[in-house]
Chains A and B, each alone.
Chain A
């Protein structure tokens, strides 16, 4: 069955800073809807008062990866899109995919080895041997 890999989202923002305006609007308008649509993600909203670090959305996944995305000067809709993007990701590292294809069955009739399509000893006809 499908298990959503996102465990929790922590929204850390400041209630007075100017670049956290989108984050504040998100909390007022869209955060409840988001939490209702994704009941398996725990959403923590923690405003830290006073001038502090930039507003950030921290996502923790089931395999332990913690991913932080800056939401400074983003609108509420953009933050919703970002949150849904994080909710649909798995916690694997975001690295270059080496090949865009993968198969679980690399060989259908059996992988070739030097002895396929060679006659077996039992049917080899030597100069004086008959096939057994």
Chain B
């Protein structure tokens, strides 16, 4: 970055220090910014056809409208000029959130039919949580386009803006394309994550007993399969769970209780079909399921 050539050479160090200590500014306040062009490029980047006015509404946050009106009132404009004729994105955000949740719940119910409702709810809640959605939004440059009061935009504002973008897509292109969009941007965030990192289960053994009674299998019998370093500071126990003398799962742990709990978790992962070596998610183009999409849109 070449700073503008100043008149005195001995000022260079001072000006460099000023440049480094300047507070961070929004991209929209730096030179070379065309909002309309950026929004068009945004829709092309996501390979989606947006209705541009819906998209522009999706980026307007309520805090921006309040701050702008306050600023205009302070500058002393009269009532007509103060009122901004801008709709904010609360309605679109709510629509987007509802659609994303419904679509994700439906896809998980189809992909993991054995997973109970609480597990699916935990997965969907994790995928629509503030942290994850704001991370995805940051990497799609939504923080440059979103209009909000503070800079840098806080994560809940980014989450609301991204869900409003989803809502705008729902209004412009319909539920099918929005479903594909949600699948392409939310579900890869589950790669590499373990089920029980996302879903907090306090008593895995009790949950396992419930699952086994539902399938009419007898209660598991825990046995030590392997042990190592019992009398040392760091023992290792492998506890196996046997149902009717047949192995169900085996899990390691530092103490016998920890190993039993871990074995119960491994057994639950196997039963729900969420192991590490399960088939990866199917991202091919969906050909059928029109009735299903209509069911979502009627939500």
Contact = CB atoms under 8 A, between A and B. Distances in A.
Nearest to A41: B41
B41 A1 contact: no
Contacts of B141: 7, 62
Contacts of A40: 41-42, 44-45
Interface residues of A, number: 27
B292 interface: no
Contacts of B139: 62-63
A3 B32 contact: no
Interface residues of B, number: 30
Contact of A4 (B45, B224, B228, B240): B45
B46 A115 contact: no
A31 B252 CA distance: 62
Given A114-B228, A120-B226, A42 B2 contact: no
A121 B227 contact: yes
Overall SS of chain B's interface: mixed
A73 interface: no
A127 interface: no
A3 B45 contact: yes
Contacts of A56: 2
Contact of A7 (B5, B41, B240): B41
A107 B86 CA distance: 55
Contact of B226 (A8, A68, A118): A118
A8 B4 CA distance: 22
A8 to B, nearest CB: 8
A39 B184 contact: no
Contacts of A52: 4-5
Contacts of A53: 2, 4-5
Contact of A54 (B2, B41, B225, B238): B2
B31 interface: yes
Contacts of B37: 42
B1 interface: yes
A62 B2 contact: no
Task: Determine which residue in A1, A4, A56, A121 has the highest number of CB atoms from chain B within 10 A of its CB, and name it.
Answer: A1
A10 interface: yes
B140 interface: yes
Contacts of B5: 52-53
Most chain B C-beta atoms within 10 Å of own C-beta, residue among A10, A53, A118: A53
Contacts of A46: 31-32
A54 B5 CA distance: 11
Nearest to A43: B37
A69 to B, nearest CB: 12
A122 interface: yes
A114 B226 CA distance: 11
Given A39-B40, A42-B34, 12 more contacts: A3-B46, A7-B141, A8-B32, A39-B44, A41-B41, A44-B32, A52-B4, A53-B4, A63-B139, A120-B238, A121-B224, A121-B226
8 contacts: A7-B141, A8-B32, A8-B38, A39-B41, A53-B2, A68-B1, A115-B236, A120-B240
Interface of A: 1-4, 7-8, 10, 39-42, 44, 46, 52-54, 56, 62-63, 66, 68, 114-115, 118, 120-122
